[in-house]
Copies of this chain bind each other. A is one copy, B any other.
Amino acid sequence: MTLSIGMLARRAGAKVQTIRYYEQIGLMAEPIRTYGGQRRYEEDAVKRLSFIRHARALGFSLDQIRNLLELADDPKRDCTAADSIAREHLAAVKAKIAALNSLKRELIRMVDCCDGTDTAHCRVIETLANHDLCASPNHEPVQ
């Protein structure tokens, strides 16, 4: 029993286009085709795609996922490499949280300090026009 791309999409929680995109960038293997040229997938494609979607939901990049899949395909291998990809991602998530918390504090200050009259005296506009009104000496890039 093989699956059409639409059935695979439903089984793994992905869009059809996304599956074709993953195939295009070499993350999913090219499946067999019907005589008419439509893709037909085996059961293991569901596993692989679910792995990818779950890892995406947890914020891993497609490049990290590519590496994790390669490691997972080699079951006897020491898992240090896999763990360090996760730790690297965790570190990135922590850094992003820190940067966003800094933004959050600054935005709260802006919003709270505005007495809400006209834009000529709006604290939001003033702060954006003048970094000296910010509390933090600089802003880390968020993405």
**Within the oligomer, what is the number of copies of this chain?**
2
Interface secondary structure of A, over-half rule: helix
Within 8 A of B (CB), among A94-142: 94, 96-97, 100-101, 103-104, 106-108, 110-111, 114, 116-122, 124-125, 128-129, 131, 139, 141-142
* Interface locus among A1-9, A19-27, A77-85: A77-85
Q: Say yes or no for A90: interface residue by CB 8 A criterion.
A: yes
Once A72-B119, A122-B82, A128-B68 are accepted as A-B contacts, the answer to whether A104 and B97 lie under 8 Å apart by CB is yes
Measured in the bound complex, the distance between the Cα atoms of B83 and A142 in whole Å is 22
Residues 43-70 of chain A, each 1 if its beta carbon lies under 8 Å from chain B, else 0: 0000100110011011110000000100
Q: Say yes or no for A89: interface residue by CB 8 A criterion.
A: yes
A82 lies within 8 A of B125 (CB): yes
Q: Say yes or no for A87: interface residue by CB 8 A criterion.
A: yes
Q: Say yes or no for A28: interface residue by CB 8 A criterion.
A: no
A124 lies within 8 A of B82 (CB): yes
A54 lies within 8 A of B129 (CB): yes
- Interface positions of A (Cβ within 8 A of B): 47, 50-51, 54-55, 57-60, 68, 71-72, 74-80, 82-83, 85-87, 89-90, 93-94, 96-97, 100-101, 103-104, 106-108, 110-111, 114, 116-122, 124-125, 128-129, 131, 139, 141-142
Measured in the bound complex, the distance between the Cα atoms of B97 and A61 in whole Å is 18
